[in-house]
Structure 1
Amino acid sequence: MLPKIALEEAYEHPERVARLLADEEALADASDRGGVTPEFYRPVMEKLREFDDVRLGSMDRAGIAHTILSLTAPGIQSIVDPAAATAEARRQNDFLAEQVARHPDRYSGFAAVALQEPENAAAELRRAVTELGFKGVLVNGYTNVGDPEHGSYLDEPRYRGFWETLAELDVPLYLHPRPSLPGGQALYAGHPEMKGATWGFGTETASHAVRLLLSGHFDRFPTAKLILGHLGEALPALLWRTQNMFQANPFDQRPRRTLPEYVADNIWITTSGTFSDHALINAVLSVGADHIMFSVDYPYSENAGAAEWIERAPISELDRRKIAHGNAAALFGIELG
């Protein structure tokens, strides 16, 4: 098997897992908010808190040489109290650093940050990268500000200092899904199966990315690196139409370049949770194999199926090697033994 690097691979703090598994009502609530059933979520929670034999054994059988771990959604972004969010981000990063230190050849980390306090988020990102050795940051969608009903998005002016720190450190931001704000949930009324990864996660995250693309964000931060999972949250397939209709209706937005140009320079996508030949070929044609990286979305998806798929996907052997490990090794400076 080809060696592989995976980078949308989740964990949850064992203390939170223990609380949820001991409380059926809390587990049902967390499952509902994530758009899954408790029957699905219970075994996933067991795997989220585990870092040794089960996770490493699954990686070994799939040929995954190295994994970048990150706190599962909604993570820090859902904590309404800013001071509590900042404290929890630091606690999670210290905990993750401990897990990485136990298996440094197999694991790296993405930082969690509390964008509720942007200056503190920038400071924590700097600490996580320069002191803990993390490879970048993962942000779970919008950040709740004030209450659970309201959120803020990464193109807003309040986050420009944070993006300046990202650019200075030259590390990527992985934009990960979470359920849409309560005001956007009306579409799913009576259809809880649509709220999570089945449908809602992708549309929420793609819309967040398009905000960045159309707002001129990458003109302000031309070296910024954004990563999207799930083969780009369907954005590669919609890129032409989005650009075409935007040119006809730009309103007051005046980015300097086209969306495909920004995608070529600033966006990478991963295969996490999307093991489809058709979707991969579309992504190679739309984004280019140099900006596609293998990922699984473990434990929400399984390592074995993802590995079997990329090993046989109908692409060139050169592209297969780039996607399996080469692109991630170059982007993150990971050396495989």
Structure 2
Amino acid sequence: MKLESGVAMRTIGLEEHFVTPELVGYGASSASIIQPEKWREASRRLLDLTGERLAEMDAAGLDTQVLSLNAPGIQAESDAATAVARAAAVNDLLASVVADHPGRFAGFAALPLQDPQAAAKELERAVSQLGLCGALVNAHTQGRYLDDPALRVVWERAEGLDVPLYLHPANGVGTPHVIEGHPELVGPMWSWGTETATHFLRLVFGGVLDDFPRAKVLLGHMGEGLPYMLWRLDSRWDYHHHHGVELALGRPSEYVRRNLYITTSGVCSAPPLLCALLALGADHILFGTDHPFEDMAAATAFLRTAPVSEADRAKIAHLNAERLLGL
């Protein structure tokens, strides 16, 4: 990505989706949310791993995409053994794409969370043997979220490997009553953001981040609204009935500032970026485009022109990703 000074700055995108022909069926729930012609185009581009995608990256000045399987991915599979086999296969494919294009791609593993022990083993294999740089989790897995005690083994492995888990949205188990009759509110425009922010708060209040204080969690879409809410979360927690929940750090915002990293994916707007900078600090913000659902060139243009210091721009563009993902 060229800056006004004419110097190229490495740019790494962390929310960059793909799908394989074998796994297309898992994405059917997303098809109902998106306008048919837009879904057809997105589906075509999800299947294109290195052709048009690399040309588009070059045109946009995006050096590296950290690839992840499109939502809900493997987590839509009801049979645990099938999930285990398919996760391993797609992670092998991802590792081969990364190996074939040095510097252009990295990858987040897909995990078969239907089988917690197998998911922890697959995360270990994906990072230690395949060279992937963490995992991406699409909301619930057959109704189970990442604060489920059975999934502590996955957090233990992620913390031990020092890799992040990226919490990504997908359709919920059911439709909240307040949304009933308003299907236009289901999906990335509204419900996915509130549900994904809630998923992170379940990790806080479910004790996951007390059990694993060095866990690193990524949220896209400028933090799914959480940077805006920190003062109120603390104020109301001080006031609220705790229902037997105690936080080792005392207040919810402490976990957001310690354990949460956010990406700019799908939000090309200066006001929320400036809020996030003030709330979380520049070391906790990374770049993403949300390809193919948003425009890559619009995202890199936003990063290039955002009203932030050059030091912070470099952190967001590549330095934080290099550190967090070991790139």
Q: TM-score range by the shorter chain?
A: over 0.9
- Of 301, 309, 313, which residue of structure 2 is paired with 1:316? 309
TM-fit CA distance, 1:30:
4.4
Question: How far apart are the structure 2 equivalents of 1:135 and 1:162?
Answer: 15
Name the CA distance, whole Å, in 1 between partners of 2:170 and 2:57. Answer: 25
- Find the residue that maps to 1:152 and give its secondary structure: coil
In the other structure, the counterpart of 2:64 is: 66
Q: Say yes or no: does 1:179 pair with 2:171.
A: yes
Q: Identity of counterpart residues, as a percentage?
A: 45
Structure 2: unaligned runs, 5 residues or longer: 3-8
In structure 1, the partner of 2:161 is 169
Aligned to 1:237: 228
Cα deviation digits, residues 173-217 of structure 1 (max 9, x gap): 0000011112x3443333222111100110110001011112222
Structure 1 stretches lacking a partner, 5+ long: 21-25, 145-150
Q: Answer yes or no: is 1:294 the counterpart of 2:279.
A: no
The residue aligned with 2:187 is 196
Residues 83-127 of structure 1: CA deviation (Å, up to 9, x unaligned): 111111111111212222221220111110111100000111111
Task: Identify which of 253, 265, 270 aligns with 1:272.
Answer: 265
Distance 1:89 1:240 in 2: 39
Q: Is the contact between residue 135 and residue 164 of structure 2 (CA under 8 Å) also seen in structure 1? A: yes
Match of 1:125 in 2: 123
2:244 is the alignment partner of 1:252? yes
Alignment of 1:1-40 (within 5 A): 1=2, 2-17=9-24, 30-32=30-32, 35-40=33-38
Question: How far apart, CA to CA, are the structure 1 residues paired with 2:119 and 2:207?
Answer: 22
Question: Contact between 1:215 and 1:254, CA under 8 Å: does it hold in 2?
Answer: no
Do the aligned partners of 2:164 and 2:216 also contact (CA within 8 Å) in 1?
Answer: yes
Whether 1:55 aligns to 2:46 is: no
Per-residue Cα deviation, 1:120-143 (whole angstroms, up to 9, x for no partner): 001111111111100001110111
User: 1:206-225 to 2 correspondence within 5 Å?
Assistant: 206-225=197-216
Query: TM-score normalised to the size of structure 2?
Result: 0.93
Separation of aligned partners in 2, 1:273 and 1:196: 13
Q: For this pair of structures, how many residues does the alignment match?
A: 318
Letter in 2 for 1:210: L
Runs of 4+ in 1 over 6 A off after TM superposition: none
User: What RMSD in Å do the two structures reach over aligned CA positions?
Assistant: 1.6
Does residue 281 of the first structure (1) align with residue 288 of the second (2)? no
Amino acid of the residue matched to residue 164 of structure 1? E
Amino acid at match of 1:307: T
- Give the TM-score taking structure 1 as reference length: 0.91
Report what 1:85 is aligned to. Answer: 83
Paired with 1:16 and 1:92, the residues of 2 have a C-alpha distance of 9
